[in-house]
Homo-oligomer: A and B are copies of this chain.
């Protein structure tokens, strides 16, 4: 009998609490680790790994530690991203770089990377090589994505293709990689891995575009940080790139001008209002929602292809499909 996501999350939290490695010395190194891991979050990546394991009729108990490794890795990237972005809030709480300082966030992040490797290495011997390869690939990809993201801050023009490749690396590679790790742990074939990986990539891209939308149009309390931060920080998101593409020249110049200078203290409200008005002129929100829909549909098609495989458990496939829908706030 397959476990539902709540059970999987409980299993994950249980093994996490049992891990002595979260309680090493010095405390100054491991307290920030427990802090970030304790901020909760959806445990999206390890749950996806475990769901993929169930999809191929694997034993999730044997996949728990590598799955936890994916969550630890993800949280390591959050610590370092928050240093690089000078972010002060994460999941509604102060970031590690603010609660402690940047050095703490760097080094606790580093040890989390090492801990993630340790956990991934708990994969059974016969699958260790393949699982590690998938993990190393996603780790390198995430770094490359973050670098493109930082490069785009100073790069004058960013095309939509460049943007989509950046978010593929920064976000989707880890989602798709988590599914791949889980499937490998259950012994999935190369042939079945391909559509699953594609599903993860599409869902990951959709998830990031959704995030771009929520940053401006979301519910502040739910989102856990102030709305409009991407505009405040001159981040070239889907919304910005699409708007630049669609706006008349005079408006495009005005938009570029807004993003070309740092936001003044107390100047953010006026700036966000101005940019939002430009976005609305060309209905960028609708375009972005449409892009999310398309990606969601493509993700569904990838799953459809999987349903023909005899290795796949139909109930687990339905659960994965439902999870993707829920993630994107969509009806199945």
Interface residues, chain A, CB within 8 Å of chain B?
Answer: 21, 24-26, 28-29, 80, 83-84, 102-103, 106-107, 110-111, 113-115, 117-118, 121, 125, 128-129, 132-133, 135-136, 139-140, 143-144, 146-148, 150-151
Contact = CB atoms under 8 A, between A and B. Distances in A.
A121 B132 contact: yes
A133 B120 CA distance: 11
Contact of A114 (B29, B83, B111, B139): B139
* Residue among A107, A115, A139 facing the most chain B CB atoms (10 A cut-off): A107
Q: Is the interface of A mostly helix, strand, loop or mixed?
A: helix
Nearest to A77: B110
Contact of A125 (B25, B111, B121, B129): B129
A229 B103 CA distance: 20
Contacts of A24: 140, 144
A121 B143 contact: no
A151 B28 contact: yes
Contacts of A83: 103, 106
Given A107-B146, A110-B113, A117-B136, 20 more contacts: A26-B144, A26-B147, A26-B148, A28-B147, A29-B143, A29-B144, A80-B110, A84-B106, A102-B102, A106-B106, A111-B140, A113-B113, A114-B139, A115-B140, A117-B117, A117-B135, A118-B140, A121-B129, A128-B128, A128-B129
Contacts of A147: 26, 28-29, 107, 111
A24 B139 CA distance: 14
* Residue among A111, A129, A139, A147 facing the most chain B CB atoms (10 A cut-off): A147
